[in-house]
Homo-oligomer: A and B are copies of this chain.
Amino acid sequence: MIFSVHVEVRLRPGIADPQGSTIERALPSLGFDGVTGVRVGKSIRFTVEGADEASARAEVEDMCRRFLTNPVIEDAVVELTAAEAAGASS
């Protein structure tokens, strides 16, 4: 089975986010008021093959821990959806 995966990588709460702070500071002078708490993360999308959803999710979470994120400062949120009509690969 083939799954579409979306991994959102966020900085953990409390970890400084200089990129987000810079955006937040710049906004009022560009005419946008009322924006607070800007946090910038990564969004990684890919497809993965697995026997079932549980094993695909386990593989993706292992990938997150090992090299898509830095678990000391980042959290990952994994979304998996079955991608039908993706078969016929042989």
What residues of B have a CB within 8 angstroms of the CB of A46 in the complex?
Answer: 20, 24, 35-39
A16 at interface by CB-CB < 8 Å: no
What residues of B have a CB within 8 angstroms of the CB of A34 in the complex?
Answer: 48-50
Please determine whether B47 and A35 come into contact, CB atoms closer than 8 angstroms. yes
Q: Which of A24-60 contact B (CB under 8 A)?
A: 24, 26-27, 30, 32-50, 59
How many Å lie between the Cα of A42 and that of B10 in the bound state?
Answer: 10
Please determine whether B35 and A41 come into contact, CB atoms closer than 8 angstroms. no
Please name the residue on chain B nearest to A24 by beta carbon: B46
Please determine whether B39 and A40 come into contact, CB atoms closer than 8 angstroms. no
Chain B nearest Cβ from A54, distance in angstroms: 15
